[in-house]
Chains A and B, each alone.
Chain A
């Protein structure tokens, strides 16, 4: 049985550091929400507060209708997956998975049935009798997932579960986690610092910075329309240029011109590399290719332009086939559709 999670004005300080600065969040039953942000933004503290491993200084935490704010971890209806797997070394995979049921003193038959079910769910049946030091990282994390889900918790908590794994294993396991979560429809809170990971699997992403939630949105919306400068820099790779504001508009020569945000003489503009139109036909701002980086399907051009006597450097991503002729030193012209440019006041 899954429940929603409600976080109401949660605060936590370590000494003079405000790890959580009044976080309020409503998480719907069955959704997977990712907490995304750099180290120290408070995402892990928030997750551990829901788990009961940290005690907030203020605010309330509800799981379903139940206020669990002072309740010990042991009594909360949760399952948790740790970054380092935290599998018990003296137990087999099966015993690890069965552990939450064993400590609840469930009947033996039920334990066997349920652990069989979990082993099937995470594809670990052949490894059931192995010990943690005999299996790979990916298998260990799947076992940890099985253990967390075995007692059918209301909320599944995941603390950067993929960080300790090799890149190749990471993608596969990421999709595994999403598949399993959708199958059992358990509410899940997933902490990560990797924005592509967050956007690949989450129903919604909460971007956190300095103990606060900057923006919550579904991945496409977050990607297209970041609400704050921080979100813009953190999610997706973007070009960022600081430009002067003139007559209420901010522009980069003939490349683009957009209305300026109010109240500032300078603005920071963001636009994505793939939105930069590069042509050889002279339409737009003249630019020179400094160098080109081959990334497989796309190539990234490092461009330098001269606008109003000021140099500007940014990237443009093109399909590699189209970039074949664009060697370092080539002269091109660039423009960006105004709707693809977001402007924020500088210094904000």
Chain B
């Protein structure tokens, strides 16, 4: 608030700006953002909280009943375990393939870099049912590679789309590009002068990477791993396309279970809520670790 200077004799002081009524000030500070805040609050925050509440609501008030029922079911335990293992496998593959790729692409010249970025963008966004279909088109029983190899006389039996390997292969199609796109900006952190300085100090390439490159980049790579893990445990579309039909040998995942319950069981909302909150907890923990990692990485930079 503007303070008035003590008036000196003969001088004219500007009138102090009138204090806004606090309600009016409050509105002007928040109004333009209100639509977005309503969307965030009503369509993201509130539903999440509602699910948490619903997972604890039984017939007679708050209870852990739903949690015990859900977690003791063998089917659900299988689903949880498979989801986590699949998430870890996906994240690891995406990191092993994606990290060198991100490094190499970040070093490319503008034109080829742009070309690769466009390709990766498409692949990262090409998920859901479309990707499930594309997988079947390539490696299904009538898929292109399958028929091609059989035509060459190789008795190729492709992995079933709904199997762990099938999902892993399909998920990786979007996960690897996603990892690369997420970590390419971090690659720019390694300045070329550091490599030159290391050379003038007689370090080999491997010594540079071991002592400088990897330590500086590893928080970001680890962050990428975490993000892919979080993303993978929550994938629904691809999984539904490949394994959603059910069937005896189909894989079970938390997301598929939720979808299943919602589709078939009118009274299953509570159990689905438990599974949903479980996913939420895992993802939130993952994100907290991610923030911590980044903060640690920044202490040097």
Interface size on B, residues (CB 8 A): 20
B301 surroundings in chain A (CB, below 8 A): 89, 133
A157 interface residue (CB < 8 Å to B): yes
On whether the beta carbons of A90 and B215 are closer than 8 Å, the reply is: yes
On whether the beta carbons of B201 and A100 are closer than 8 Å, the reply is: yes
Given A86-B193, A90-B216, A103-B207, A80 and B300 contact (CB-CB distance below 8 Å):
no
Query: Using an 8 Å CB-CB cutoff, how does the interface string of B183-226 with A read, 1 for contact, 0 for none?
Result: 00000000101101111111110010001100110000000000
On whether the beta carbons of B202 and A53 are closer than 8 Å, the reply is: no
On whether the beta carbons of A86 and B202 are closer than 8 Å, the reply is: no
Report the separation of the CA atoms of residues A82 and B198 in the bound assembly, to the nearest whole angstrom.
11
Distance from B198 Cβ to chain A, minimum over Cβ atoms (Å): 8
On whether the beta carbons of A133 and B202 are closer than 8 Å, the reply is: no
Which residue of A is nearest B190, CB measured?
A: A89
Q: Pick the contact of A78 from B191, B200, B216, B300 — CB < 8 Å?
A: B200
Which residue of B is nearest A87, CB measured?
A: B197
Report the separation of the CA atoms of residues A78 and B215 in the bound assembly, to the nearest whole angstrom.
26
Given A53-B196, A80-B197, A89 and B203 contact (CB-CB distance below 8 Å):
no
A315 surroundings in chain B (CB, below 8 A): none
Report the separation of the CA atoms of residues A87 and B197 in the bound assembly, to the nearest whole angstrom.
8
B203 surroundings in chain A (CB, below 8 A): 74, 99-100, 103
A148 interface residue (CB < 8 Å to B): yes
A88 interface residue (CB < 8 Å to B): yes
Distance from B206 Cβ to chain A, minimum over Cβ atoms (Å): 10
Query: Using an 8 Å CB-CB cutoff, how does the interface string of A31-54 with B read, 1 for contact, 0 for none?
Result: 000000000000000000001110
Distance from B257 Cβ to chain A, minimum over Cβ atoms (Å): 44
Query: Using an 8 Å CB-CB cutoff, how does the interface string of A150-179 with B read, 1 for contact, 0 for none?
Result: 010000010000000000000000000000
Which residue of A is nearest B201, CB measured?
A: A100
Report the separation of the CA atoms of residues A75 and B196 in the bound assembly, to the nearest whole angstrom.
13
A132 surroundings in chain B (CB, below 8 A): 300
On whether the beta carbons of A103 and B204 are closer than 8 Å, the reply is: yes
On whether the beta carbons of A74 and B197 are closer than 8 Å, the reply is: no
Report the separation of the CA atoms of residues A99 and B300 in the bound assembly, to the nearest whole angstrom.
17
On whether the beta carbons of B196 and A90 are closer than 8 Å, the reply is: no
Interface size on A, residues (CB 8 A): 32
A322 interface residue (CB < 8 Å to B): no
A12 surroundings in chain B (CB, below 8 A): none
Query: Using an 8 Å CB-CB cutoff, how does the interface string of A59-97 with B read, 1 for contact, 0 for none?
Result: 000000000000011111011101010111111000000
Report the separation of the CA atoms of residues A103 and B204 in the bound assembly, to the nearest whole angstrom.
8
Given A131-B300, A133-B300, A86 and B197 contact (CB-CB distance below 8 Å):
yes
On whether the beta carbons of B196 and A99 are closer than 8 Å, the reply is: no
Distance from B237 Cβ to chain A, minimum over Cβ atoms (Å): 40
Q: Pick the contact of B202 from A90, A104, A131 — CB < 8 Å?
A: A104
A90 surroundings in chain B (CB, below 8 A): 212, 215-216, 300
On whether the beta carbons of B201 and A86 are closer than 8 Å, the reply is: no
Distance from B174 Cβ to chain A, minimum over Cβ atoms (Å): 32
Query: Using an 8 Å CB-CB cutoff, how does the interface string of A209-226 with B read, 1 for contact, 0 for none?
Result: 000000000000000000
On whether the beta carbons of B199 and A89 are closer than 8 Å, the reply is: no
Which residue of B is nearest A82, CB measured?
A: B193
On whether the beta carbons of B202 and A75 are closer than 8 Å, the reply is: yes
Report the separation of the CA atoms of residues A103 and B216 in the bound assembly, to the nearest whole angstrom.
18
B202 surroundings in chain A (CB, below 8 A): 74-75, 100, 103-104, 151
A272 interface residue (CB < 8 Å to B): no
A193 interface residue (CB < 8 Å to B): no
A342 interface residue (CB < 8 Å to B): no
Distance from A90 Cβ to chain B, minimum over Cβ atoms (Å): 5
Which residue of B is nearest A103, CB measured?
A: B203
Report the separation of the CA atoms of residues A86 and B192 in the bound assembly, to the nearest whole angstrom.
9
B211 surroundings in chain A (CB, below 8 A): 88, 91, 99, 102-103
A84 surroundings in chain B (CB, below 8 A): 191, 193
On whether the beta carbons of A88 and B194 are closer than 8 Å, the reply is: yes
On whether the beta carbons of B196 and A82 are closer than 8 Å, the reply is: yes
B300 surroundings in chain A (CB, below 8 A): 89-90, 131-133
- Which residues of chain A (172-213) have a CB below 8 Å from chain B? none
A147 interface residue (CB < 8 Å to B): yes
Report the separation of the CA atoms of residues A237 and B192 in the bound assembly, to the nearest whole angstrom.
37
B207 surroundings in chain A (CB, below 8 A): 103
Distance from B103 Cβ to chain A, minimum over Cβ atoms (Å): 17
Which residue of A is nearest B191, CB measured?
A: A86
Report the separation of the CA atoms of residues A187 and B108 in the bound assembly, to the nearest whole angstrom.
37
A99 surroundings in chain B (CB, below 8 A): 198, 201, 203, 211
A76 surroundings in chain B (CB, below 8 A): 200
A52 surroundings in chain B (CB, below 8 A): 199
Report the separation of the CA atoms of residues A82 and B193 in the bound assembly, to the nearest whole angstrom.
8
Report the separation of the CA atoms of residues A91 and B210 in the bound assembly, to the nearest whole angstrom.
13
B201 surroundings in chain A (CB, below 8 A): 79, 99-100, 103, 147-148, 151
On whether the beta carbons of B204 and A86 are closer than 8 Å, the reply is: no
On whether the beta carbons of A73 and B200 are closer than 8 Å, the reply is: yes
Given contacts A75-B202, A103-B202, 16 further A-B contacts (CB under 8 A): A52-B199, A73-B199, A74-B202, A74-B203, A79-B200, A82-B196, A89-B300, A99-B201, A100-B202, A102-B211, A103-B198, A103-B204, A131-B300, A148-B200, A148-B201, A151-B202
**Shortest 4 CB-CB contacts between residues of A and residues of B:** A100-B201, A80-B200, A86-B193, A86-B197
* Chain B interfacial positions (CB closer than 8 Å to A): 191, 193-194, 196-204, 207, 211-212, 215-216, 299-301
Between-chain CB contacts (< 8 Å), 21 pairs = A51-B200, A74-B199, A74-B203, A79-B201, A82-B197, A84-B193, A88-B194, A88-B198, A88-B212, A89-B300, A90-B215, A91-B211, A91-B212, A99-B201, A99-B211, A103-B198, A103-B203, A103-B204, A131-B299, A133-B300, A148-B200
